[in-house]
Amino acid sequence: MKKPLLIRNAQIVNEEELFKGSVLICDDLITEIFRGGTSNEQIPENIDILDAEGKLLIPGVIDDQVHFREPGLTHKADIESESRAAVAGGVTSFMEMPNTLPPTLTQELLEEKYQIAAKTSVANYSFYMGTSNYNVDEVLKTDPATVCGVKIFLGASTGNLLVDDPQTLERLFSECKLLIATHCEDETIIKQNSAAFLQKYGENVLINMHPTIRSSEACYRSSEYAVNMAKKYGTRLHVLHLSTAQEMQLFDNSIPLKDKQITAEVCVHHLWFSDEDYQKLGTKIKWNPAVKTANDRQELMEALINDKLDVVATDHAPHTIEEKNNTYFKAPSGGPLVQHSLQVMLEFWHQKKISLEKIVEKMCHAPAICFKIKNRGFIHKGYYADLVLIEPNRLFTVNKENILYKCGWSPFEAHTFHSTITHTFVNGSLVFENGIINDSYKGMRLLFNR
């Protein structure tokens, strides 16, 4: 048994409140929450104390969309390296995508990922079951209580998991009982645009043409299709990485999150960057869907505030810098983000664009509600002690020495954030403290109330 720990006199952000208080951790769980300052007389005997005066205490961030590249692509990243980066950024739980080598298209391959994570991940973990045009029967075997969801690529990105057979899609949307998460870009539009630009410019296509090739129309048409299919069959649909203002009209903010059948996610890079940044950062910010206009960015933030967008995630998808430093068609899409997503959102708080309470809602509470994660995502008595301490006004400059991604680079390199993550607890264990990671600790498999 671990010695009980009291995190004392923190500014706690939880369930639309910010209050001074303390949290008692025994073994894996939160066992008591004290409001107000705690005097020495109130503190139980024989416990450790961490004085958090002046720090923010929030639930651990739950990132519902990452690509950790294992198995098969471990020259880019692996579960061990990227889980270390995650906890350094305050992310205590992740859900990882199926476009590895081989793709996660069978129950056996899915379970192999869980076995790898059990041995190497310092964060809690879950893995999506992948879909193809040919594996519906295998998908339908997936256990809703132990697997986060099913991933459908309605647009080709990295990997070969595009699902475009109408009968397959009808079966998945009508028969799958798990949450279906979709990457929505219309492949026909993208292929037509790509062919036209390739014919006109050859290999000299400029990166700032990316949002024209992978256009707003391609995003909207595919998202509209997924939403209509979900409405037709009553599917539990979660649309990933929305990137356009137009798509916001597809989503509803008139009902509570817990009652929504169709939910929506935005990623930090679509909130932070715009097409004006291609000139400076080039293919480093080549993502699918593409980063689009400043107006799209503004509309996404407004939709996040007004609850049309439910979850903030990363789509963390690392490639080596050698792979990224290439011509437009050869450079892969995706970039590393999981270590800095919380700092990005805190920067928006410093800029008075969003409240601390809303950040915690979208990064911690909402993923737990959307996926019905068991006993996580909140600072509640009896919940797992996934907790993060933040110095809200301590500067942090991203550089080669503190980047923990296996790929060794970040689109935020040389940027100075105004907040610093100092401590990350996973299931009550201190896994990250001021730059040091406890590699001996291993996270847990996420479970779901389904």
448 domain residue, yes or no: no
Same domain, yes or no: 27 and 85: no
Q: Give the model confidence (pLDDT) of 109-128 as tens digits.
A: 999 999 999 999 999 999 99
400 domain residue, yes or no: no
Q: Give the model confidence (pLDDT) of 240-262 as tens digits.
A: 999 999 999 999 999 999 999 99
Q: Give the model confidence (pLDDT) of 77-92 as tens digits.
A: 999 999 999 999 999 9
- Greater confidence (155 vs 58) lies with 58
Same domain, yes or no: 36 and 181: no
- Cβ atoms 374, 62 nearer than 8 A: no
Cα–Cα distance between 178 and 184 in angstroms, integer? 18
Same domain, yes or no: 139 and 175: yes
Question: Is the pLDDT confidence value at 38 over 70?
Answer: no
Q: Give the model confidence (pLDDT) of 326-380 as tens digits.
A: 999 999 999 999 999 999 999 999 999 999 999 999 999 999 999 999 999 999 9
Same domain, yes or no: 75 and 203: yes
Quote the percentage of the chain above a pLDDT of 90: 94
Same domain, yes or no: 151 and 218: yes
pLDDT for the residue 161? 77
Task: Over range 159-170, report the average pLDDT.
Answer: 85
pLDDT for the residue 159? 54
Q: Domain count of the chain?
A: 2
Q: Which residues contact 106 (CB under 8 A, 6 or more apart)?
A: 135, 138
Residues in the chain: 450
Same domain, yes or no: 201 and 54: no
Any idea which of 32-46, 289-303, 402-416 has the lowest mean pLDDT? Answer: 32-46
Question: Is the pLDDT confidence value at 45 over 90?
Answer: no
Task: Over range 404-426, report the average pLDDT.
Answer: 98
pLDDT for the residue 40? 62
Same domain, yes or no: 50 and 79: no
Q: pLDDT-derived band of residue 180, with 50, 70 and 90 as boundaries?
A: very high
Same domain, yes or no: 108 and 209: yes
Question: Is the pLDDT confidence value at 22 over 70?
Answer: yes
End-of-domain residue from the set 371, 406, 425: 371
pLDDT for the residue 37? 75
27 domain residue, yes or no: yes
444 domain residue, yes or no: no
Q: What pTM was estimated for this model as a whole?
A: 0.97
Same domain, yes or no: 128 and 274: yes
162 domain residue, yes or no: yes
Q: Residue 177: which domain range? A: 61-371
Q: Which residues contact 157 (CB under 8 A, 6 or more apart)?
A: 99, 183, 185, 288, 333, 334
Mean pLDDT across the chain, nearest whole number? 96
